[in-house]
């Protein structure tokens, strides 16, 4: 399938370049973090809308310009695709075999940051594209993966090193340990046999910060409530060069593990920085101020190693989630 290159940013760059007295030089397009969202086949019906939401929120922050490159996908959720104006998307193209996309070859080197929005069924990338991507991250490129993107590409060793832990896709003890915190606050790497990845019913759950000195989490309340979402548990993988910044308690009454599961993580791969966020199942989960703030801060950190953004005043608290309806 011909890769559909979507450059919304041309339009938004034009809009943002209208002279404004309040806009400082650092917000000029040339200094912004050049971001590429890679998406395509996904078992989550809201995925095109979520790409659109991320792009809009990131550009609204004044820190990022965002392009999208879409690999082959199965046509699902037509309503969402048409509502969120995915330029160049065409139904005939979309229905082609999504098991592979031999022409998918984004120019990663033109960007500072890549965000993965795929599901477990993402069309495998061509070998050359994988190598280009590995080189990009090794040389210091930033990467953000969230929710089902940690289900993708189970066979791709370097990708699994980048995400640290993942689920589904026949991941088992052969891929690395389960990683979680116990009730005493001890990080456990558990090599016991078993499948990776599960979740109970969607619900609001509490995020517990484990390192409040990291640029991404600094200033966040120690506990905050995520809007209705899936709480991934039993993730496993190589988990090398990985730090868990926050966990979420996976309660047995929610069909969970009774463990504190990793929710926000940072990793290094070569010189590259990676931010991994397990949240973001549906559009309403992405409307969460906690989720979006984590993504914006995680994206800035992955690209630059720093975070300049403030924690917004409507950030969730330990017992109250916070959402802003996207329209
Ligand atoms: Zn999900």
For the stretch 189-200, pLDDT in tens is 999 999 999 999
Mean per-residue pLDDT, 195-216: 98
Q: Is residue 319 part of a domain?
A: no
In the reported structure, the alpha carbon of residue 100 is separated from the centroid of ligand 1 by a whole-number distance in angstroms of 22
Question: What is the per-residue DSSP string for 168-234?
Answer: STT--GGG--EEEE-TTS-EEEE-------B--S-EEEEEEES-TTSTTTTTS-SEEEEEEE---BS
Find out whether 202 and 124 touch, Cβ atoms under 8 Å. no
CA max distance for the chain? 60
pLDDT at 265 over 90: yes
pLDDT range class, residue 70, cuts 50, 70, 90? confident
Other C-beta atoms within 10 Å of 264: how many?
A: 27
pLDDT at 278 over 70: yes
Pick from 155, 150, 78, 142: nearest CA to 111: 142
The Å distance, Cα 279 to ligand 1 centre, comes to: 8
CA of 157 to the centre of ligand 1 (A): 23
Asked if residue 317 belongs to a domain, the reply is no
The answer to the question of residue 316 being in a domain is no
Side-chain-side CA neighbours of residue 214 (13 Å): 21
Residue 88 lies in a domain: yes
Q: What angle do CA 50, 44, 179 make, to 5 degrees?
A: 95
Q: Please indicate, yes or no, if residue 204 is contained in any of the structural domains.
A: yes
Q: Cα(141) to centroid of ligand 1, in Å?
A: 26
Give residues with Cβ within 8 angstroms of 186, minimum separation 6: none
Tell me: pLDDT of 6 over 80: no
Assign 82 a pLDDT band (cuts: 50, 70, 90).
low
Check which CATH number belongs to the domain holding 244 and give it. 3.40.50.880
| Residue 197 belongs to a domain | yes
The angle formed by the CA atoms of residues 264, 214 and 291, to the nearest 5 degrees, is 35
The mean per-residue pLDDT over the stretch 298-317 comes to 98
Tell me, in angstroms, the distance from the centre of ligand 1 to residue 66's CA.
Answer: 23
Q: What span, in angstroms and rounded, lies between the C-alpha atoms of 129 and 115?
A: 15
Q: Rounded to whole angstroms, how far apart are CA atoms 178 and 187? A: 10
Distance in Å, CA 147 to ligand 1 centroid: 6
Q: Which of 31-35, 92-96, 190-194 has the lowest mean pLDDT?
A: 92-96
From ligand 1's centre to the CA of 199, what distance in Å? 9
Q: Which structural domain, as residue segments, surrounds residue 300? A: 11-304
Residues with CB under 5 A from ligand 1 (ion): 230, 281
Residue 5 maps to a domain: no
Residue 232 in domain: yes
Element (H, E) at 60: helix 47-60
197 CA from centroid of ligand 1 (Å): 11
Q: What is the per-residue pLDDT for 43?
A: 85
**Rounded to the nearest whole angstrom, what is the distance from the C-alpha of residue 21 to the centroid of ligand 1?**
42
The count of structural domains within the chain is 1
Alpha carbon of 148 to ligand 1 centroid (Å)? 6
Tell me the pLDDT band of 15, cut-offs 50, 70 and 90: very low
Q: What is the DSSP letter of 271?
A: T
> How far is the centre of ligand 1, averaged over its atoms, from the C-alpha of 234 (Å)?
14
Determine the distance separating the centroid of ligand 1 and the alpha carbon of 320, expressed in angstroms. 22
Q: Find the 261 Cα to ligand 1 centroid distance in Å.
A: 16
């Amino acid at each position: 399938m011909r890769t559909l290159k979507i450059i919304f940013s041309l339009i938004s760059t034009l809009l943002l370049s209208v002279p404004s007295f309040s806009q400082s030089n650092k917000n000029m397009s040339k200094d912004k973090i050049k971001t590429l969202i890679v998406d395509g086949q996904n078992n989550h019906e809201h995925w095109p809308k979520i790409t659109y939401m991320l792009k809009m929120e990131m550009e609204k922050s004044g820190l990022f310009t965002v392009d999208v490159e879409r690999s082959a996908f199965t046509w699902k959720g037509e309503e969402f695709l048409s509502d969120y104006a995915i330029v160049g998307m065409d139904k005939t193209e979309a229905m082609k075999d999504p098991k592979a996309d031999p022409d998918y070859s984004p120019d990663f080197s033109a960007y500072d940051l890549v965000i993965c929005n795929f599901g477990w069924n993402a069309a495998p990338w061509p070998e050359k594209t994988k190598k280009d991507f590995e080189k990009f991250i090794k040389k210091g490129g930033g990467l953000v993966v969230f929710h089902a993107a940690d289900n993708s590409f189970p066979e791709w060793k370097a990708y699994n090193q980048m995400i640290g832990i993942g689920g589904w896709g026949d991941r088992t003890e052969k891929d690395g340990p389960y990683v979680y915190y116990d009730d005493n606050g001890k990080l456990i790497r558990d090599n016991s046999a078993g499948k990776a990845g599960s979740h109970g019913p969607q619900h609001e759950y509490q995020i517990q910060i484990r390192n409040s000195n990291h640029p991404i989490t600094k200033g966040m309340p120690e506990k905050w409530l995520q809007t209705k979402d899936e709480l991934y548990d039993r993730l496993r993988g190589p988990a090398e060069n990985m730090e868990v910044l926050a966990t979420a308690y996976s309660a047995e009454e929610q069909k969970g593990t009774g463990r504190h599961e990793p929710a926000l993580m940072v990793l290094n791969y070569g010189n590259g920085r990676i931010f991994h966020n397990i949240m973001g199942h549906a559009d309403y989960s992405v409307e969460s101020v906690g989720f979006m703030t984590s993504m914006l801060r995680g994206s800035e950190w992955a690209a630059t190693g720093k975070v300049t953004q403030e924690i917004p005043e409507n950030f969730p608290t330990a017992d109250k989630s916070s959402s802003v309806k996207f329209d």
